[in-house]
Chains A and B, each alone.
Chain A
Amino acid sequence: MSEATAAISEREQFIAIKGRRKNTIKCDTDSIAGCVSQRACVYCGARVVLNPVTDAIHLVHGPVGCANYTWDIRGSLSSGSELYRNSFTTDLREQDIIFGGEKKLARIIDELVAKYQAKLVFVYSTCIVGVIGDDLTAVCKAAASRHGIEVIPVESSGFIGNKSAGYRAACEALLKLVDPVDRREAAASKAINYLGEFNLAGEAWIIKDYLNQMGVQVNTVFTGDSTRDTIKGAAKASLNIVQCAGSMYYLAGKLEELYGIPYQQVSFLGLDDTAQSLRSIAEAMGGGELSDKAEELIRREIDRVSPIIKGYREKLAGKKAAVYVGGGFKAISLIKQFREIGIEVVMVGTQTGRQEEYDTINALVSDGTVVLDDANPAELERFMTGQGAHLLVGGVKERPLAYKLGLAFIDHNHNRKHPLSGFDGAINFAQEVYSTVCSPVWQYTARQGGS
């Protein structure tokens, strides 16, 4: 089987083995036809980033499928509006492809705005819109002035690139919303923005609570539990912290360029990363009392959580993990987080990791670890079994493959219903690994992962 996989010679340059074969890999490029890539499209990238904006109408200008497959797909929670959990579409049909969909789009925007009294509409472009040439920008601009609200076009035609292009399209859309402010006033504030956090299972709330305890106010979260108003006020912050960098580094750069807000990378996955991130935020906000409070919080939480994590580590030490996730940030954090519970990562890949993220991954992993970009099921099967992994971390599509191979599985997808961030998240993570690696069901299988 592995010979057959290797037969796709174009894929070789996307795969490296630490210490044995080249240490840089090709990434951030188009998928190869027929390779059964696990990637989604530009529209998907844009939709997953923007969907957590709770009081927006998310309107897909395109055929029915694109809206159906993305209806309420994220486990992002809201403290207010539930409007974002609907999927609206112009439902383009054959006639619209021939005669154009601009009038239909304008009419549907009017209907929805009247019905829901919404002040913000995101209009997503899909593949065909890019081809039939509807002028999304003009329709949105006219609708915005007609209703006196924000109607933002999202340029996310599926064929213009990969999922990363969608992240960028989403960032462009968000930037259009942010109102300029008096920088001197904003720079003096003790408020920060939290970028690349989608409030899956309340994760943004967990981190906000930590920061509140330190005396730091969170101004805007991009985009978990955010609203039109919080996004408009995003320039009133003195610092941006960025978690999911793949989706948000572009926005962070732009906010620095346009509004002079500096940014720093954080991660709240795992004990070490969480503690380090809280320290560096306190430092960046002036240190002193903030740092003291951060240390107090870290000490208290580590004291509470460490014994629990240690209990799991004793049961899990020596197991081997394979990681295949969307972005580089998540992969990097997972490598560290697995070490905290005594597990080495033997295979790690991402759908949309960037070169500098792969450099970090390569520096982190042990010799012999397989690193791969834009993998497919055949490669996952080959390397998970070849490397003797006991478990896989992935999304919905990867889960059945792991199970069929007799491997344990960790859900690290948008849909999950339990938080993995912060100190509570570290416990949940260890518990989930334990629940799947040490389940009694494996006694009845012919094989279990590992070598």
Chain B
Amino acid sequence: MENPCHMCMPMGGILALKGIERAMVIVHGSQGCSTYMRRHIAEHFNEPIDVGSSSLNEKGTIYGGEANLRQALDNISKVYQPGLIGVVTTCLAETIGEDIARIVADYRQERKLTMPIVTANTPGYGGSHTEGYWLTLRRLVETMAIATERHNKVNVFIPGISPADIRELKRLFAAMDLEYMLCPDIADTLDRPYLASYSKLPAGGTPLADLYRMGGAAATIELGVTLDSNVSPGKYLKDTFGVPLYSVPIPIGIQNTDAFMGVLESISGRKRPADIENERGRLIDAMIDSHKYNFAGRSAIFGDPELVYAVTQLCLENGIRPVVVTGDKSGNLSRLLPKSEMSAETVVLSDPDFDLVQQQVKAGGANIAIGHSDGRFLTERDHIPLVRLGFPIHDRVGGQRLLSVGYTGTMNLLDRITNTLLTEKHQHYRQDMYQKYYSKSS
């Protein structure tokens, strides 16, 4: 593989757990795993990212890492006084056959702990960070949700979107008068305001009290149409507690946002307020204003499958031809994407590396890339401009503040895309026309 497109499973586990109230994470493996992932996450969010490690050494690798994991649990508890600890594994822990569920169960019993400890088996070789993310959410719900009385709140399972996106979703729920339990909720934990005093654990995150009560919710909305049902937390709640499940795409693009708002309307039994309807009207107005510029767009879209799916829809409905999109090894993305005149040239790459993306970008004549900052090489090597979206964004500030969901966020994202196409056009058209016509004319 040349220049990987995805990260490893425990990375997803950390990202999911960072959105839980007063949670700490321990990565069971050698010291480097946690450090690399911390660095990667810190650089995107510009937030302190504290993650423990069981710091497995040679001895632990040969004789088992239980003592290391116990010591890590002790020390993390002492320094951070967390409300929940998540333990995720690594290649090393899984290859030497660590039974973390058993170790953690014994530890909790001996220490007479009431604090929940959630375990997720996330070997790096087992899948991508996206798979690790959903698996960890599923494990959280399996561990925490208990039979409880019915109530009016709605579970919302969130894929990899920005803190700004999550704040926008909350605004939409509030506008519809719906009470929600968002999981995970990184709106505050990974985008903290500057405060007069610093605390090691940020405020915010999904309240533990909500996690316990998810089985009694009025409904579950899962922003995940590309994931397999065996890692779907919504499917688990449906099967175990009979909570109705609505699987919808990330509300990026007018169709996807309509679908999302439609679900909110049907759960709440009320129509959207005029303000939101006006936002929709403004989006359509913006789409019309920009449609001819967008028609010149031929896009390459890469990143988390869920985000790729939603952005591909956005391109299709605005006349931007997606020529390359990346999916995972499940093949779900190619099944889901609609077949139309606009998508006639779309090539869906299954579990590719960036080398393959780059080849397809050339072959398909893409002129704009949409995705995380590893795509900067497409700009550096092939002069394809990149609209940064998703995780990680390491070479620009503000990845955590990018707003792309809902009617307003969609308009925001569409403007970023259109303006990137316009910048290219304005930079090159004089030279292009000169080269094409001047020599013939004189």
In this complex, how many residues of chain B approach chain A with their Cβ under 8 Å: the count is 69
Q: Tell me if B7 and A396 are in contact (CB < 8 A).
A: no
Q: Tell me if B72 and A64 are in contact (CB < 8 A).
A: no
Q: Distance in Å from the Cβ of A310 to the closest Cβ of chain B?
A: 33
Q: Tell me if B124 and A41 are in contact (CB < 8 A).
A: no
Q: Tell me if A8 and B79 are in contact (CB < 8 A).
A: yes
Task: Decide: A39 near B35, CB < 8 A? Known: A93-B125, A128-B91, A159-B30.
Answer: yes
CA A449 – CA B35 in complex, angstroms? 26
Which B residues lie within 8 Å of A32 (CB)? 55, 71, 75
CA A399 – CA B38 in complex, angstroms? 12
- In A60-94, the 8 Å CB interface with B consists of 62-71, 86-94
Q: Distance in Å from the Cβ of B14 to the closest Cβ of chain A?
A: 12
Say yes or no: is A377 at the interface (Cβ < 8 Å to chain B): yes
Q: Tell me if B56 and A89 are in contact (CB < 8 A).
A: no
Interface residue stretch chosen among A227-235, A289-297, A401-409, A420-428: A401-409
- In B39-59, the 8 Å CB interface with A consists of 39-40, 42-43, 45-58
Which A residues lie within 8 Å of B3 (CB)? 71, 86-88
CA A37 – CA B50 in complex, angstroms? 9
Q: Distance in Å from the Cβ of A190 to the closest Cβ of chain B?
A: 39
Q: Distance in Å from the Cβ of B12 to the closest Cβ of chain A?
A: 10
Q: Distance in Å from the Cβ of A112 to the closest Cβ of chain B?
A: 8
Q: Distance in Å from the Cβ of B188 to the closest Cβ of chain A?
A: 13
Which A residues lie within 8 Å of B73 (CB)? 34
Say yes or no: is A378 at the interface (Cβ < 8 Å to chain B): yes
Say yes or no: is A450 at the interface (Cβ < 8 Å to chain B): no
Q: Tell me if A34 and B39 are in contact (CB < 8 A).
A: no
Q: Tell me if B2 and A86 are in contact (CB < 8 A).
A: yes
In this complex, how many residues of chain A approach chain B with their Cβ under 8 Å: the count is 70
Q: Tell me if B78 and A89 are in contact (CB < 8 A).
A: no
Say yes or no: is A161 at the interface (Cβ < 8 Å to chain B): yes
Q: Tell me if B57 and A30 are in contact (CB < 8 A).
A: yes
- In A424-449, the 8 Å CB interface with B consists of 445-447
Which A residues lie within 8 Å of B96 (CB)? 131
Which A residues lie within 8 Å of B72 (CB)? 33-34
Task: Decide: A161 near B57, CB < 8 A? Known: A68-B8, A397-B39.
Answer: yes
Task: Decide: A33 near B71, CB < 8 A? Known: A63-B124, A71-B374, A403-B46.
Answer: yes
- In A24-62, the 8 Å CB interface with B consists of 30-44, 62
Say yes or no: is B130 at the interface (Cβ < 8 Å to chain A): no
CA A90 – CA B96 in complex, angstroms? 20
Q: Distance in Å from the Cβ of A34 to the closest Cβ of chain B?
A: 3
Say yes or no: is B274 at the interface (Cβ < 8 Å to chain A): no
Which B residues lie within 8 Å of A34 (CB)? 26, 52-55, 71-76
Q: Tell me if B75 and A8 are in contact (CB < 8 A).
A: yes
Say yes or no: is B1 at the interface (Cβ < 8 Å to chain A): yes
Q: Tell me if A37 and B61 are in contact (CB < 8 A).
A: no
Task: Decide: A400 near B125, CB < 8 A? Known: A31-B55, A35-B75, A159-B60.
Answer: no
Say yes or no: is B6 at the interface (Cβ < 8 Å to chain A): yes
Which A residues lie within 8 Å of B60 (CB)? 159
A33-B54, A33-B71, A112-B2 given; 7 more Cβ-contact pairs under 8 Å: A64-B4, A131-B96, A158-B29, A158-B32, A376-B79, A399-B46, A400-B49
Chain B residues within CB distance 8 Å of chain A: 1-4, 6-8, 10-11, 26, 29-40, 42-43, 45-58, 60-61, 68-69, 71-76, 78-79, 81, 90-92, 95-96, 123-126, 128, 192, 194-196, 198, 200, 353, 374
Q: Can you name 7 A-B pairs with beta carbons within 8 Å? A: A31-B53, A34-B74, A42-B30, A62-B124, A91-B4, A159-B61, A400-B48
